[in-house]
Structure 1
Amino acid sequence: MKIEFDPHPFIDNPRVIETTEEMDNFFSRCATEDVIAVDIESAGFYRYYGRVNLIQIASRKEAAIIDPQKIEDFSAFQNFANASSCLWLFHGGDYDISMLAKDLGIYIPRMFDTRKAAEITGMTELGLRALTEKYLGFTLDKRLQRCDWSKRPLTRAMKEYGLLDAVCLIPVYDCLKSELETLNRMDWVMEECDYIARHAKEFQEQEADPYAFRIKGASKLSLRSQAILKEIWSLREKIAAKLDRAPFMLLSNQALIEIARQVPRTVSGMLVIKSVNRDFLNRYGSELQVAIKAGMKAPLTDLERPFKPKEKEFLLTAWEGELAKSLREIRDSIAEKLNIPPAVLAPMHSIYDLAKIRPNTVGLLLQSEILHEWQTQILAEGFLDILRQEPPKTAKSKRRRRKR
């Protein structure tokens, strides 16, 4: 299915919303919309803190850019998201809706992920560019994908690039919806999207990794050099956080490894290392020396990530391994008939969990929540035949007679 779609009426005069009042008015005009498309941009590649730097939003009638760097009060957006019955469209929406929730307190109740939908229809090319080529007949220009979205003022090219992604989502959604309804798979996608939305609402910040300083090449260093690496890595993190700059842009990982290996005693000694940023040395050379000295005196303990053996409850026995193999073969066969990736139908970690727990009825299978409901409906019959098998009885070992 391919439709004619002209995005220019939406993007030729891109509108940027910079006040709470403008945002409130926009959502008032969206009150009766059935779908609203959203895309966000973040400057996480350039900045230390991942933030929502731009929100592109489109209805069937209009599109606009919302600038979070100019607006502090997002209650109009929050209230509309809570009260509206519209379906929110995203592409690869896991990250976007998590960022909206974490950064701006905006929780999306009902969403449709065009990437997830494309996967469940059987497509192998899942990027938005591939979808616009297939359904709309034009190619998205992705040259600005890695630009710094925190910079202001926004150029016209940045505005058009940002808006185009959101504007295209609505006609792409219409095409995917038609295909999914033909395949009787719309419920599958909506269930998957419900899980994505629920996960975003339950989002929790991960604890800082105390061994994050163990970057590529750290394992080849001596323990003393690893202690130095830990100190200079911590200094770089501290400066990056203060400046809100990506750490690697201040001092590369390779530079950290070389400093830790060579242990230069002076700033001029650091200048010899080619990978070291000269501007960084000019500003923070003395602090870097202090960090190196601290590493020279630091205890040589707690430098390597402790080994964590797998807990016995997560290890499969030989028989459970055979069950997992049989389950995988059934899954692969059904996935091939449905023309969808096997991992979409049941990821391997789910198959291992089923082989370990062995729920032997449809009710127990659903209750385990290892598979989603639509996956259970497809796989239950074949899986239960395997999961109802009884484990082999352990044979009594015959005692050997001792030779006299």
Structure 2
Amino acid sequence: MDFFLIKSSDELKALIEKIELAPRLALDTEADSLHTYYEKICLIQLSCDGAHYIIDPLAGYNLEEFLKILSEKKLIFHSADYDLRMMRSTFGFEPKGKIFDTLLAAQILGYKHFSLSALVERFFKVTLDKVKRKSNWARRPLSIQQLQYASEDTRFLMPLADILSAELERLGRSEWHWESCERAVAAAASGPEAPDLDEIWRIKGSGLLEQRQLPYLYYLWHWREIEARMVDRPPFKIMGNQQLIQLVHWAANNPGAPLSAGPRLPRNFFGARLDALKEAIAKAAQMPPSDWPQVRRGERPPVWEPDCRPLIKSLMIERHRSARALGIEPSFLAPRSALVNIARNRPQTLEEIIQFSGLLRWQATIIEPGVRRCLRRWEKKQKKDFSHITCQMT
């Protein structure tokens, strides 16, 4: 094995002594979201000074000092957003040092393929094995193959960061990258948004249901959530969305029919779980029509006066022109939602573009000239149209 598995407090203490002297660290995590309801970090992978380590947070040793040292270091991630969110939710971790995200760097440089495996193959001619990607990382003991896979995720991050950093510097895009990384850190620190309680149960396929069927989806979705929490399993492991929608159709169309006459259920549906399912269906059947959830076929686009669609199209053309000149993806430079907000609010200054669009300063600075051209043409056309209407009225 060419990595070190930290199995005890003494080994962790020795690692802390090593990383205290390191100016930067490459970091990655493995979580168990595909296998548990309460997602948590199951492994922390770390590389520094050419050595590679795997820390087991489930081994029972105290990580407080280790995490404190990590928070003070410059950290290199590939897709920092997810790892930082998980570290915050699992450990309350908040980085104080700078973050270098190799995924964001690759996107800013305009690479078409920016996954870690694609970048490692591009620069190091190594093909990473992704067979163990969906492993159950919470199960112990972990196999040598799982540990080897995990160690690969940080092995190339430092030299990769050096290559991308040099290219960012050469193109004058380093500040763009730091600003993007700072947003990732801020987003992780802010935590997830509170779910919309009237939307969270509207799973894929619910938009095709009739209103009389929605009470069944509402109660069956909540039944599935409760069952998943009780056994700490992902909801789809209890019942997949497609099967849930199928059961909704049957229950709504066959009120009062025995469940045994319905769609085939998984083999582990018996006892308390089966009773709870029957109770959920009964509650749905008893919901009065006045309380039925409303049908939602998707949000209607806002009606603007005057119609902004030509302005949005013009902004998209300008965005494509700017992105093409820089060799980056137009949607990465400015997503369509940002352009829609610009069209709605007609910002007059760079600060207003940032405020209304939600773009970073580097993104707003690049599209600002195009935005000004579009708005000038738009305002000129509106004045011309207004003058034409006024003449007709007189």
Residue 304 (structure 1) aligns with: 294
- Does residue 1:355 correspond to 2:343, yes or no? yes
Residue 86 (structure 2) aligns with: 99
Q: Secondary structure at the match of 2:133?
A: coil
2:42 corresponds, among 29, 32, 53, to 53
Any unmatched runs of 5+ in structure 1? Answer: 1-11
Equivalent runs, 1:1-150 vs 2, <5 Å: 12-19=1-8, 22-71=11-60, 73-84=62-73, 86=74, 88-109=75-96, 110-150=98-138
Q: Which amino acid aligns with 2:91?
A: L
Deviation at 1:148, TM superposition (A): 1.1
Q: Quick check: 15-24 or 191-200, which moved more?
A: 15-24
Structure 1 contact 81–107 (Cα < 8 Å) conserved: no
Q: Which amino acid aligns with 1:107?
A: E
Any unmatched runs of 5+ in structure 2? Answer: none
In structure 2, distance between residues paired with 1:310 and 1:257: 24
Structure 1 contact 226–303 (Cα < 8 Å) conserved: yes
Distance change >3 Å, CA 138–CA 227, structure 1 → 2 = same
Deviation at 1:396, TM superposition (A): 3.5
Q: Secondary structure at the match of 1:278?
A: coil
User: What is the aligned-residue identity percentage?
Assistant: 29
Structure 1 contact 265–289 (Cα < 8 Å) conserved: no
Deviation at 1:133, TM superposition (A): 0.6
Q: Quick check: 284-293 or 91-100, which moved more?
A: 284-293
Distance change >3 Å, CA 333–CA 306, structure 1 → 2 = closer
In structure 2, distance between residues paired with 1:157 and 1:291: 43
Deviation at 1:142, TM superposition (A): 0.4
Q: Secondary structure at the match of 2:44?
A: strand
CA deviation digits over 1:128-182, x for unaligned, max 9? 1110111111100101111111111111111110011111211211221222222
CA deviation digits over 1:221-244, x for unaligned, max 9? 554443233223222211110101
TM-score by length of 2: 0.86
Equivalent runs, 1:308-323 vs 2, <5 Å: 316-318=304-306, 320-323=308-311
Equivalent runs, 1:262-301 vs 2, <5 Å: 262-263=250-251, 265-266=257-258, 268-270=260-262, 273-274=263-264, 276-281=265-270, 284-300=273-289, 301=291
In structure 2, distance between residues paired with 1:211 and 1:368: 25
Distance change >3 Å, CA 284–CA 382, structure 1 → 2 = closer
In structure 2, distance between residues paired with 1:220 and 1:388: 43
TM-score by length of 1: 0.84
Q: Secondary structure at the match of 1:53?
A: strand
In structure 1, distance between residues paired with 2:133 and 2:26: 18
In structure 2, distance between residues paired with 1:339 and 1:23: 44
Deviation at 1:94, TM superposition (A): 1.3
**What's the C-alpha RMSD, in Å, of the aligned pairs?**
2.9
- Does residue 1:182 correspond to 2:174, yes or no? no
Q: Quick check: 224-233 or 328-337, which moved more?
A: 224-233
